[in-house]
Amino acid sequence: MATDYDRATASWSYGKYFNDLGCAHEAADPEIIADASVRWVKEDIREKLKAQGIAPTEFNVQSVIMGDSRLWERPLDRDFRDNMIASGNDDLDARVAILKENGNFKNVDTAMPVESLDDLDVSVSTGFSWTDKPDIARQLSEVRLMYDIEKDAKLKSLDSIMRNKVFKDVVSEIEKGSFMVYYQPKVDSRTGITVGAEALIRFFDEAHGVVGPIHFIEILEENRCSHLIDLFVLDEVCKAQKLRCISDRRVVPVSVNFSKNTLEYADLLDQVKEIMNRYDLPEGLVQIEITESVGDMDIVLINNIAQSLISMGFRLSMDDFGTKYSNLEMLFKFPFSIAKIDRSLVKNLESNEKSRIMLKHLISMIMELGIECVAEGAENEEQVRLLQQFGCNIIQGYFYSKPVTLDVFTSEFVEKTRNQL
């Protein structure tokens, strides 16, 4: 049986509501009824707010409707309507009082509607210009330009504040140990022996557990803080490699990703050099993976960075190869010694003839250039077989393993395959 709210009696009743809507009781649309009842309830809420010296704004009305978890479990408009039906309108006074006490309202006691402009306290910015020949269109354009300049300045200031906050947050989380490095094996498909790995960042959140970079890397890129993560990963990888070296255990090369923002970081080479000097690793044990996004950067700058990294003992890998035409151009311009076939080309390899033809020629070209070929994203045996057939034997993907912790990587992949050598 449907009900409606009677403002005249401040109570819920039957019948009158439907007549107000101009339709018969039996034909009333439940959705329209619910919406209309909420509007009536909001009017009554506004009156209650005014009576207690609270601004009857939409925010404060919604605060009453949404409520407090201590009062209602389901804070939605129609749930509130149901609660009003069940508990009676007397509960509204108590609800407003409790929410007021808990500080749920904005500008309580001070944000009452103004009766006149004399009650308003505002600040105004003005500008003046003089001209012998008035040109309203031009002057308005200049005013708009001045406004845009001021707005941009404020936004840049806000960006700077946000960037500093994100920077501090990242540094703090690194110090707390919230960021972790996972390893995904690279396997020689001919022998099944692990010959390398890619280091991948993860974040531990108490509420959600281990979280992948898709959930946080974008905000780091936007605030130009991704170099903190990339350098953290590099340091962790070098530390792990050094420990294996000094304990005379098998060591395989590990690749670390450097984003475009990281490569643009002014102190990158100095900090990388500091890390490498700290651990003094043999050449080739750490590789740097670079994506095609660096193609937008100055060629001379990238070449200088690339040569400096090579001189420190790194091998450079072209990541996501084959996804864009610019990949081919970069392969000739920059001193890459490894090309990593993108997973998108491997994904439908067994079912897409065009993918097979293109990938076959890409791999052939890479091999003829004397560049090592690695494929990522292999998920089944047929994909691995076809990659082998085309000449790419070093494979990374879920067919062999998902990304794992350092302990699992060393015990299950590096040490186990050591006995096969």
| pLDDT tens-digit readout, 205-219 | 777 788 888 888 888
Across 20-34, 261-275, 282-296, 353-367, least confident range:
20-34
What b-and-e string marks burial along 143-162, b requiring 16 or more CB atoms within 10 Å of the CB? eeeeeeeeeeeeeeeeeeee
Mean pLDDT over the full length of the chain = 76
**pLDDT number for residue 29:** 43
Poorest-confidence range of 71-80, 179-188, 387-396? 71-80
- CA torsion 297-217-187-373 (nearest 10°) is -20
pLDDT at position 391 over 90: yes
Of the segments 86-90, 92-96, 332-336, 389-393, which one has the largest average pLDDT value? 389-393
Q: Give the pLDDT band (50/70/90) at residue 131.
A: low
Sign of the alpha-carbon dihedral angle for 354, 358, 361, 363:
negative
* pLDDT band per the 50, 70, 90 thresholds, residue 329: confident
pTM of structure: 0.62
pLDDT for residue 325 is more than 80? no
Of residues 106 and 331, more confidently modeled: 331
- Please report the pLDDT score of residue 109 as a whole number: 37
What is residue 199's DSSP assignment?
A: E
Q: What is the CA radius of gyration of the chain?
A: 32
Q: Within 13 Å and on the Cβ side, how many CA atoms surround 64? A: 29
- Ranking 7-16, 77-86, 192-201 by mean pLDDT, the lowest is 7-16
Closest by CA to 92, choosing from 61, 113, 59, 55, is 61
pLDDT band, very low/low/confident/very high, at 139 (cuts 50, 70, 90)? low
Q: What is the pLDDT of residue 194?
A: 96
Apex 14 CA angle, 10 and 17, nearest 5:
75
Beta-carbon count within 10 A of 19 CB: 12
What does the block give as tokens for 138? 């031009």
The tens digit of pLDDT for each residue in 54-90 reads: 888 767 777 776 654 334 333 444 455 555 555 544 4
| Tokens 């006995």, located at residue | 419
Say what the pLDDT of residue 179 is.
92
> pLDDT per residue over 87-117, tens digit each?
544 466 766 776 776 666 655 333 334 444 4
**Which of 109-113, 278-282, 384-388 is predicted with the least confidence, judged by mean pLDDT?**
109-113
Neighbours of 251 (CB within 10 A): 19
Judged against a pLDDT cut of 50, whether residue 203 lies above it is answered with yes
> How many residues belong to the chain?
421
Average pLDDT of the segment spanning 159-180: 74
